[in-house]
Amino acid sequence: MGEHDLRDDDSELFRQAIGPVRPLDAKPLPPAAPKPRPRARMAERDEAAAAQEFRLALDEQLLGAGDVLSHRDERLPPAAFQRLKRGELSAQEEIDLHGLDARQAQSLLRAFLADARKHGVGCVRIIHGKGRGAAELDSSGAPVLKNMVDRVLRQRADVLGFHSAPPAQGGTGAVVVVLAKR
């Protein structure tokens, strides 16, 4: 008997000893990495495009040193806005942003407006300067602080209206703001 025959006999004996068999199930695969959460890519692109368009629109209408700041929300009655324009409303609080860089000035302005609203102040004056110094102008020659103040005031829901101050109170270097009641 050859070695080959012994191996076949051994295999046959083994099969008889263990009986019928069934194949094992395949090993389960390792868990897959979790899928990323869905993102609203189109909405993100739309928002980015709108923000860029908004910035471009702001850049197109930059105010000059002698330009008047003026805005009225529909919640402010026209008669009250006329009084504001004529300088008949007196500011209860005032902040002077002269000499600050735009980031500092914006942070202080936001805090000042929030504090004024918190304490029930209805009318404030913001001195931004006319932007006549070289350090106060941007690359296009527009006054940085004046344009920043205009932009911040237009974006705030608590601002009912604003207008450049009368000449005796700073003229086009300051703005008087009417705030909504708390």
pLDDT of 154 higher than 70:
yes
pLDDT digits (tens, 9 = 90+) for 73-124: 999 999 999 999 999 998 999 999 988 888 899 999 999 999 999 999 999 9
Question: Taking Cα atoms as reference points, which of 132, 108, 126 lies closest to residue 69?
Answer: 126
Residue 146: alpha-carbon gap to chain centroid: 20
Are 124 and 95 within 8 A, CB to CB? Answer: yes
Mean pLDDT of 22-39: 84
Question: Taking Cα atoms as reference points, which of 149, 101, 143, 111 lies closest to residue 127?
Answer: 149
pLDDT of residue 42: 87
pLDDT of residue 161: 95
How far apart, in whole angstroms, are the C-alpha atoms of residue 134 and residue 126? Answer: 21
Question: Which residues lie below 8 Å from residue 158, measured CB to CB, with a gap of 6+?
Answer: 113, 117, 179, 180
pLDDT of residue 37: 86
How far apart, in whole angstroms, are the C-alpha atoms of residue 164 and residue 177? Answer: 9
Cα dihedral: 19, 22, 23, 25 (round 10): -130
Domains of the chain: 42-179 (3.30.1370.110)
From first CA to last CA, the distance across the chain in angstroms is 106
> With left for phi above 0 and alpha for psi between -120 and 50, is residue 50 left, alpha or beta?
alpha
pLDDT of residue 137: 64
How far apart, in whole angstroms, are the C-alpha atoms of residue 77 and residue 164? Answer: 18
Question: Taking Cα atoms as reference points, which of 177, 139, 172 lies closest to residue 161?
Answer: 177
pLDDT digits (tens, 9 = 90+) for 118-152: 999 999 999 988 766 655 666 666 788 888 899 89
Question: Which residues lie below 8 Å from residue 118, measured CB to CB, with a gap of 6+?
Answer: 182
